[in-house]
């Protein structure tokens, strides 16, 4: 096992987009939400949110996000990676 990144607070869920970029629900440097890892050393916040716990992409370019009580659809224009 190899460590990919450190410094996230309470990572909750992960998903990969069609280009293979990792997205993680977590907190990082005082910000909370969904972070995308295009560069493994520099996560970028793509969706802000305080109580997010999970995420998934669909094939209609939406990001489906879950908090502790609701499901949200965020139109990001990014397609999910199909399962094999």
Let me know if residue 37 belongs to a domain.
Answer: yes
pLDDT of residue 72: 94
pLDDT of residue 11: 93
pLDDT of residue 29: 95
Alpha carbon separation from 59 to 26, 41, 53, 76 (Å, rounded): 23, 28, 21, 12
pLDDT of residue 53: 94
Q: Which residues contact 5 (CB under 8 A, 6 or more apart)?
A: 37, 40, 41, 43
CATH number of the domain within which 59 lies: 2.40.10.500
pLDDT tens-digit map of 35-72 = 999 988 899 999 999 899 999 998 889 999 999 899 99
pLDDT of residue 9: 94
Domain region containing 14: 9-74
Let me know if residue 79 belongs to a domain.
Answer: no
Question: What is the Cβ-side half-sphere exposure of residue 74, based on CA atoms within 13 angstroms?
Answer: 20
Average pLDDT score, the chain: 91
Beta strands in 1-84 (DSSP E): 9-16, 22-28, 31-37, 44-48, 52-57, 62-67, 71-75
């Amino acid at each position: 096992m190899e460590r990919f990144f450190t410094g996230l607070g309470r990572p909750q869920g992960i998903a990969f987009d069609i280009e293979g970029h990792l997205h993680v629900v977590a907190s990082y440097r005082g910000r909370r939400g969904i972070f995308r890892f295009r560069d493994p050393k520099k996560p970028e916040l793509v969706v802000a949110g305080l109580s997010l716990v999970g995420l998934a992409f669909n094939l209609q370019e939406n990001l489906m996000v879950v908090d502790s009580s609701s499901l949200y659809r965020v139109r990001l224009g990014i397609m999910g990676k199909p399962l094999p």
